[in-house]
Amino acid sequence: MEFTVKQIAGLLGGEVEGNETLKISQLSKIEEGKPGAISFLSNTKYEPFLYTTDASAVIVDRRFEPKKVVKTTLIRVENAYTAFTLLLQQYEQFIKKEKYGIEQPSYVGEGTSIGENFYLGAFACVGKNCRIGQNVKIYPQAYVGDNVQIGDNSVIHMGVKIYNNTVIGSHCIFFANAVIGSDGFGFAPQSDGSYQAIPQLGNVVIEDHVSVGAGTTIDCATMGSTIIRQGVKIDNLVQVAHNVEIGKNTVIAAQAGIAGSAKIGENCVIGGQAGFAGHINLPNRTKVGGQAGVSGKWRQAGLSLHGSPAMEIKDSLRSSAIFRRLPLLEKRVQALENLKQEEKP
C-alpha cells in the first residue's frame, strides 16, 4: 500500500500543511513514527512527540496550534482520533484476506443450511439442523453444536465452542477459545452434604454486533435464555453465568464476572475484574470500576461505582483517602484520650 499525503488528506477531508507529495506506506504511533509513516495527535500528553517525530505526516485537529516548529507535514481534520480510526479501518479492509470455502477434514451435520461465502476451517465441526447465514466464517478447530443459529457476517475464531441451541445474531465476533452455552452452575444440596446438578435446559441468545473475547465463558440458562443484547462488547476471560441479561451497548473489560440471574443495564461500562452478585439489577449507564464488587440495590441510572463492596465513586474515593491515613487518625484519637486522662484530677 502506498498513497501520497494528498490522497490521504482527500480521503479524510483534511487540509495539508507541508509537503503533500510525500509517500505514505504505513500507520504508526507518533512516538514510533518513521519516514513513510503517518501518525496522529489527539491526546495532548503526546504533543512533545510531534516536534521530534520522524513520521512523514501527522493528522491533527483542525484547531490545533503548535507551540514549537513542526518539521513533519500536518493534515488538519475535524477530529484527529476519528480520522485516524477511519484510516485504520481502510487499511484493514485493504490487507484483510477473506477466507472462503470448506477446508477438509471438517464436519457439517444433517439438516444444516449454509449461506453464501461460507468459510469452514479444518478440524471444525458444525452440528445438525443449524441455520448459518451469509458470509459466516468458522475458523479451524471451532465447534458449533446442534440447532444453532448464526446470523450474517458473524465470525467464529479458532477453538471457540458453541453448545446446542445457541442463537447468534449478525455481525458478531467470537475470539479464540471462548465457550458459549456450557451448563449454568446450579446444584441442589442433598441431605448427605453432596450436591445434585440441576439440569440446565435453557440456551444463550446473542443479538447483533456483539463481540466476545478470547477464553470468555457464557453459560446457558436453567430455563429460558441467557441474553446478550445488541452491541455488547465483552473482553477476554469474562464469566457470564446462567440467566444473566446484559443490556444493549454495554462494554465489559477482561476478567469481570457476572453471577447468575444478574441483569446488567444498557450502555454500562464495566472495568476489569469487577464482580456482580447474583440476581442484581444494574441500572443503565452505570460505570463500574476495575475490581469493584457490586451487590445490593441500585436504582439510579448513570452512577459510577467503585470498590468492594462497591460505593458511589465520590464516597469510595473519600473513604479510601482516609483509609490511607487511618494510622494517623488512630493516633489523633489516642492523643485526645491522653489529654482526657491528664485532665482527670
Enzyme catalytic residues: 242
CB of 342 to its own copies, least distance (A): 11
Report 311-330 residues binding its own copies (CB under 8 A): 311, 315, 318-320, 322-327, 329-330
Q: What letter represents residue 166's amino acid?
A: T
Give dist(CA 253, CA 238) in Å, integer: 8
On whether the CB atoms of residues 298 and 279 are closer than 8 A, the answer is: no
State which of residues 131, 239, 298, 313 lies at the interface with its own copies (CB under 8 A): 239
Interface with its own copies, residue 300, by CB under 8 A: no
Give the residue with the Cβ less far from its own copies, 117 or 239.
239
Interface with its own copies, residue 339, by CB under 8 A: yes
Number of residues that bind its own copies (CB under 8 A): 102
- Is the omega angle on the peptide bond into residue 140 within 30 degrees of 0, that is, cis? no
On whether the CB atoms of residues 284 and 303 are closer than 8 A, the answer is: no
In sequence order, which ranges of 39-194 are alpha helices (DSSP H)?
A: 47-50, 80-95
Interface with its own copies, residue 17, by CB under 8 A: no
Interface with its own copies, residue 153, by CB under 8 A: no
Helix axes 5-12, 80-95, angle to 10 degrees: 110
Interface with its own copies, residue 125, by CB under 8 A: yes
Point out which span in 12-20, 58-66, 69-77, 291-299 binds its own copies (CB under 8 A).
291-299
Q: What are phi and psi of 243, to 5 degrees?
A: 65, 15
Instruction: Give the cell for residue 223.
Output: 430455563
State which of residues 2, 65, 92, 98 lies at the interface with its own copies (CB under 8 A): 92
Give dist(CA 40, CA 228) in Å, integer: 35
CB of 259 to its own copies, least distance (A): 6
Give dist(CA 109, CA 131) in Å, integer: 11
Rg of the Cα atoms in the chain? 27
Interface with its own copies, residue 140, by CB under 8 A: yes
State which of residues 62, 68, 71, 332 lies at the interface with its own copies (CB under 8 A): 332
Report 59-88 residues binding its own copies (CB under 8 A): 81-82, 85, 88
State which of residues 244, 275, 282, 286 lies at the interface with its own copies (CB under 8 A): 275
CA dihedral defined by 14, 18, 24, 29, rounded to 10 degrees?
-80
Point out which span in 15-23, 60-68, 112-120, 153-161 binds its own copies (CB under 8 A).
153-161
Q: Count how many residues are written for the chain.
A: 345
Interface with its own copies, residue 129, by CB under 8 A: no
Interface with its own copies, residue 150, by CB under 8 A: no
